[in-house]
Structure 1
Amino acid sequence: MKIIILGSSAGGGFPQWNCNCRNCDGIRKGTIRARARTQSSIAVSADGVNWVLINASPDILAQIQATPALQPGRADRDTGIAAVMLMDAQIDHVAGLLMLREGKPLELYCTPSVWDDLNHGLPLASVLGHYCGMRWHPIAGAADDLSPVAIPGIAGIRFIPVALKSKAPPYSPHRQQPRADDNCGLLVENTASGKVLFYAPGLGEIDPRVETAMRSADCVLVDGTLWTGDEMIRMGLSAKTASDMGHLHLYGTGGMIELLDTLGPRRKILVHINNTNPILDEDSAERALLSRHGIEVAHDGMEILL
């Protein structure tokens, strides 16, 4: 099973178009050692031919251009993307659906709450109905129902959604009334090797079910949005904490690093990195700290084999 990280940044990408923070200014001027990143998405395949796109980034066209396996190669109109699976309805995970409108109907897998948001809060389903259209396949994201998802044409991979405690998008009609299936993580299992990936680009809180899922995985690819809970406030860029935004901070008591340290010898990778996060500077003290803890930072084009 191959996983390609198409985009490793949080919303806005890196550098963000309107941001002049130390990181964004530094990468533009070449004064820091860092990689540019597009917005969060991965692709998964067992055969290297048919792929499941997990989250559809606004940068999907650039990501396809950078990934030959997703490009047309078998017919005049073709794609390696067999289906799209959404972990939530955040704009940086769904806007790319509009970029796929020239093809056949999109085989879309998501929870009922995400589908509801795509029909009401941000009605992409209605818009795309005038183009390619979408065929919705419900996935179970409720905390007590973790039914595996089988995707036709994707043999050898089992997808198991895991409900996450986070938030619906700001545009969602139920933003202030969270539902159990607003946000999902995903266990992705190679049924031949038994190897498992746990993927959760948005993770606001760790509960026992999520911790169990992480401990069952050979590789965890998880939310690394912000270094500290008050990062955006201290920089004068937002009045919101990491928790307000639906993300678990990395550094400090109760943070992601602390949790990852308890998982033992498995591959640990951070994804969905905000442009302000100091770990983007490869020479930073924060990046060095991650290395000492055996934690990697995802970059666009990174491949994981399980």
Structure 2
Amino acid sequence: MKIRVLGSSAGGGFPQWNCNCRNCNGVRNRTIAAEPRTQSSLAVSVDGVAWLLINASPDILAQLAANPELQPARHARDTGIAAVLLMDAQIDHVTGLLMLREHNAPLPVYATDPVWQDLSTGFPLASILSHYCGVERHVIALDAAPLEIAALPGVRIEALPLSSKAPPYSPHRTAPERGDNIGLLLTSVESGKRAFYAPGLGAVEAHIRDAMRRADLLLVDGTTWTDDEMIRLGLSKKTAADMGHLAQSGRGGMIDVLDALDRPGARKVLIHINNTNPILIDDGPERRTLAQHGIEVARDGMTFEL
């Protein structure tokens, strides 16, 4: 099982187009040691030709250009994207579907019922795409047998409900539904190795902690360093928790969660990193703290084989 990080940033990317925080200014002017990043998405493959796109970010065209493996060029019109799996209905995870509208057949899309409801009402991408390539909808059922996708033979995918928030445009924004957000546990049948992916993780419930303990690779929420990060910088009135994210530092933060897993040899990687997060600075003290805990920071183009 091959896993490619197409985008490692949170919504808005890094640098964010309208942000002049220390990080964004620094990466633009090259006054800090940091790499630009696109908005979060993964691609998973078994054979390196057919790929499952997990979340379709607004940066999908740039990501495809940066990852030529996803363009096998077998025909005049072609793509390595065999299907798309959506973990939520957030703008930074679904808008890329519009960029795939020239697909030469209905685009296979896997989504839970609440996510599909959002994409049929509050943000009606399904209706819009019906005027272009169309969408072949596949249901992600919770508490069911692991999902098997034809393009990924030998990979089992378990969808796990997360405690987080639906998008602001969701009809059930103020009344969360089970399946608004999911985490994924991907298992290679051949190697027995597992990867856990949750770019938006507001709370680590018992079933999530269990899945994390079973994983050989963890790609988890790295949005903010502190819960009040955006407020202190004058960029928002919301905490990380308000937005459905668990900060890294502080009591009970992501560092504490990862430390407590007791999974020797597992790779622990933070992903979906907000442009304000100081862990984006390669030589900063926060990055050194993460290194002391054996935690890595995702970057675009990072590849894993399990």
Note the aligned Cα RMSD (angstroms): 0.7
- The amino acid across from 2:195 in the alignment is L
- Aligned-pair distance for 1:118? 0.2
Aligned length: 303
Please give the per-residue CA displacement for 1:206-249, whole angstroms capped at 9, x wherever unaligned.
Answer: 10000000001111100000000000001110000001000001
User: 2:47, 2:189 → 1: CA distance?
Assistant: 13
Match of 1:2 in 2: 2
Please give the per-residue CA displacement for 1:266-300, whole angstroms capped at 9, x wherever unaligned.
Answer: 11000000000000011110011000100000000
Identity rate, percent = 65
Contact 1:146 1:162 in 2 (8 A): no
Give the match's secondary structure for 1:259.
helix
Match of 2:220 in 1: 222
TM norm structure 2: 0.98
- The amino acid across from 2:12 in the alignment is G
Match of 1:300 in 2: 300
- The amino acid across from 1:134 in the alignment is V
Most deviating of 228-237 and 67-76: 67-76
User: Which one of 204, 207, 223 corresponds to residue 206 of structure 1?
Assistant: 204
Contact 2:83 2:151 in 1 (8 A): no
Contact 1:164 1:183 in 2 (8 A): yes
User: 1:153, 1:210 → 2: CA distance?
Assistant: 26
- The amino acid across from 1:128 in the alignment is L
User: Which one of 139, 149, 152 corresponds to residue 151 of structure 1?
Assistant: 149
User: 1:76, 1:238 → 2: CA distance?
Assistant: 46
Asked if 1:71 corresponds to 2:87, the answer is no
User: Which one of 184, 187, 201 corresponds to residue 186 of structure 1?
Assistant: 184
User: 1:25, 1:251 → 2: CA distance?
Assistant: 24
- The amino acid across from 1:229 in the alignment is D
User: 1:109, 1:65 → 2: CA distance?
Assistant: 24
Give the match's secondary structure for 2:241.
coil
Match of 1:174 in 2: 172
- Would you identify which runs of 4 or more consecutive aligned residues in structure 1 move more than 3 Å? none
Asked if 1:129 corresponds to 2:126, the answer is no
Asked if 1:262 corresponds to 2:260, the answer is yes
- The amino acid across from 1:77 in the alignment is R
Match of 1:120 in 2: 121
User: 2:61, 2:137 → 1: CA distance?
Assistant: 22
TM norm structure 1: 0.98
Match of 1:280 in 2: 280
- The amino acid across from 2:271 in the alignment is V
Match of 1:239 in 2: 237
- Unpaired stretches in structure 2, ≥5 consecutive residues: none
- Unpaired stretches in structure 1, ≥5 consecutive residues: none
User: 1:147, 1:88 → 2: CA distance?
Assistant: 20
Asked if 1:19 corresponds to 2:19, the answer is yes
Please give the per-residue CA displacement for 1:49-69, whole angstroms capped at 9, x wherever unaligned.
Answer: 111000000000000001111
